[in-house]
Amino acid sequence: MKFVFLLASTVAMAAPTFNRDIAPILYENCATCHRPGEVAPFSLLTYQDAAKRASLIATVTKKRYMPPWKPEPGYGNFDHVRALTDDQIARIQEWAATGAAEGDAADRPAVPAFPTGWQAGEPDQVLKVSEPYSLTADGPDRFRCFVLPMNLTKESYVSGAEFRPGNPKIVHHALIFLDSTGTARRLAASSGGAGYQCFGGPGFSGAGLVMGWAPGYTPLPAEPSLSQAVRPGTDVVIQIHYHPSGKPEQDQSSIGLKFSGPPTKGRALLLVMNRYLDIPAGESHYVVKGSVTVPQDAELWGITPHAHYLATDMKINARLPDDSVIPLIWIKDWDFNWQGQYRYQQPIKLPKGTKIELEYVYDNSARNPHNPSHPPVRVRFGEQTKDEMALAFLGLVLPSPADVQPFQRAVVLQYVEDFVRLTEDLNDLPEEIPPAMAMRLRLGLAMFDRNHDGKLDAEERANLLKLVQTMMPQ
């Protein structure tokens, strides 16, 4: 008994070695990105690779900068969380502090095998960017949209999508949209070459976001009950964020699609946002709030917060009709380079009337190392690098496909209502509305200003909304 205890304590006290203690941690938590050909700048598979960076590894893991995972624990129970335990972090510290020993070769685990093919099963259709895109060795990050025609001959139902980077070394993240308007095609045709430049969005509105991708992302299996209808003429548009690797590189990414029959449940994307941010140059703590109400019972399965470089802190809560609050996500140190689509372990029930509340904080001072403007400038909502955004996509499931249209209708009406409330005073329209549009808007709104006092009172607003409602498709 005493002997066992003694043995246990000597083992516990022995300095950690790479082969016995560290390699298993790195293989499980780091190697997805830190291996040859992947996004991270160096591999961490061999003792030599890891040992020469032991103190750097100790520093970045202690600060929880690596593995990259932004959501705060306790705010949303997410799937595929990337995090080391306190114990693992302590082991790494100890290993670095005691000289980063290699240890006994017999202890060393096998290098893990990584899947090379499609991870969510063989797709029914593979769409590949038509020609390789060339990226210079250095310079700023590039944002490019590529248009991939689906060439559908009849209405079809997409039940799954998996993005595959052509060159994982330079693809930092990707967003996949559907465009049935032909706008993306026109943008690509007028830019020449493979695709067109785009930053904050794909450059067209009404785009359905199919999915997001970032290094280490585990694709979802196909879900026929939630398939999405797509019309002939629809294009897949992939927006890719490229980060130069130090060498000239090429990329030709692809997407694999799965098809099925019509859905049996409804799938809706709820956008919560605030377009009226206006951040003064130099302001270090600018708070933006936004909200949207869930118009009917729904289940939330995932969330994708989005902003550009100035955002620092992002919080989204669900306030239920009984005023209780479910924290959905909190990111305390937003990093544009590590944005993700986060999925909950269990879908969250959101009863009708739940208010989704967004609160983001921005630092537009010169002290913010991510600030793209030197010196800082006034910043408003927009798609360009130097503009900002305050939004989040919420992935919802509704009981039946028939619920989707009334749901979207109610949400659009809410947006219109919020806008009408904001433009209540015809002589004091929000400054970010361009002058020509403000002029037309003033003329249009004035038609509802029955008593000609230059403002839309509650009754006048209600009349306007009634008209909008009758104009919306049933």
Q: Is 33 in the site for ligand HEC (CB under 6 A)?
A: yes
Q: Tell me: does residue 58 bind ligand HEC (CB under 6 A).
A: no
- Contact by Cβ (8 Å): 196, 235: no
| Residue that the structure tokens 């917060």 belong to | 305
> For ligand HEC, which is the closer residue by CB, 68 or 401?
68
Residue 177 beta carbon to ligand HEC: minimum distance, rounded to whole angstroms: 23
User: Which one among 17, 32, 234, 364 touches ligand HEC, defined by CB under 6 A?
Assistant: 32
Scored b (16 or more CB within 10 A) or e, 85-118 reads eeebbebbbebbeeebbbbeeeebeeeeeeeeee
Interaction between residue 212 and ligand HEC (CB under 6 A): no
Query: What's phi and psi for 349, nearest 5 deg?
Result: -75, 125
How many residues belong to the site for ligand HEC (CB under 6 A)?
20
53 binds ligand HEC (CB under 6 A): yes
The nearest distance, CB 115 to ligand HEC, in angstroms, is: 15
- Nearer to ligand HEC by Cβ, of 28 and 417: the residue is 28
Q: Among 52-60, 177-185, 298-306, 459-467, which window interacts with ligand HEC (CB under 6 A)?
A: 52-60
DSSP string spanning 94-147? Answer: HHHHTT-B---GGGPPPPPP---S-TT---SEEEE-SSPEEE-SSSS-EEEEEE
Range 216-275, binding ligand HEC (CB under 6 A): 216
Choosing from 62, 64, 68, 441, the residue that interacts with ligand HEC (CB under 6 A) is 68
Q: Which of 273, 192, 203, 267 is nearest to 238 (CA)?
A: 203
What is the full DSSP assignment across 192-221? -SSSEE-SSS-S-SSPEEEEEE-TTPPPPP
Residue 215 makes contact with ligand HEC by CB under 6 A: yes
Cα of first residue to Cα of last residue in the chain, in angstroms, is 78
71: contact with ligand HEC by CB under 6 A? no
Q: Is the dihedral of CA 408, 413, 418, 420 positive or negative?
A: positive
- The answer to the question of residue 327 lying near ligand HEC (CB under 6 A) is no
159 is an interface residue for ligand HEC by CB under 6 A: no
22 binds ligand HEC (CB under 6 A): no
Which are the contacts of 336, defined by CB distance < 8 A and separation ≥ 6? Answer: 307, 308, 309, 311, 370
Tell me the closest approach of the beta carbon of residue 107 to ligand HEC, in angstroms: 19
Least separation, in Å, of the C-beta of 136 and ligand HEC? 18
Span from 24-32, 70-78, 180-188, 354-362 in contact with ligand HEC (CB under 6 A): 24-32
User: Alpha carbon 233 to chain centroid distance?
Assistant: 26
Nearer to ligand HEC, 132 or 215 (CB): 215
Least Å distance, CB 314 to ligand HEC, is 18
Which range binds ligand HEC by CB under 6 A, 57-65, 94-102, 198-206, 247-255?
Answer: 57-65
As a 3-state breakdown, the chain gives helix, strand, coil percent values, each rounded to 5, of 25, 30, 45
CB of 64 to ligand HEC, least distance (A): 10
Chosen residue from 9, 41, 218, 443 binding ligand HEC by CB under 6 A:
41
Supply the angle between the helices 86-97 and 54-62 in degrees, to the nearest 10: 150
Q: Which stretch binds ligand HEC (CB under 6 A): 36-44, 103-111, 151-159, 221-229?
A: 36-44
Among 24, 49, 51, 60, binds ligand HEC (CB under 6 A): 60
- How far is the C-alpha of 327 from the C-alpha of 319, rounded, in Å? 9
Are the C-beta atoms of residues 420 and 318 closer than 8 Å to each other? Answer: no
329: enclosing H helix or E strand: strand 325-331
Of 21, 23, 27, 34, the residue at the interface with ligand HEC (CB under 6 A) is: 34
In what helix (H) or strand (E) does residue 70 lie, and over which residues does it extend? none
Helix (H) or strand (E) holding 238: strand 235-242
Among 17, 19, 23, 29, binds ligand HEC (CB under 6 A): 29
Nearer to ligand HEC by Cβ, of 30 and 145: the residue is: 30
Q: Which is nearer to ligand HEC, 56 or 81 (CB)?
A: 56
Name the site residues for ligand HEC (rule: CB under 6 A): 29-30, 32-34, 39-41, 53, 56-57, 60-61, 66-68, 82, 84, 215-216
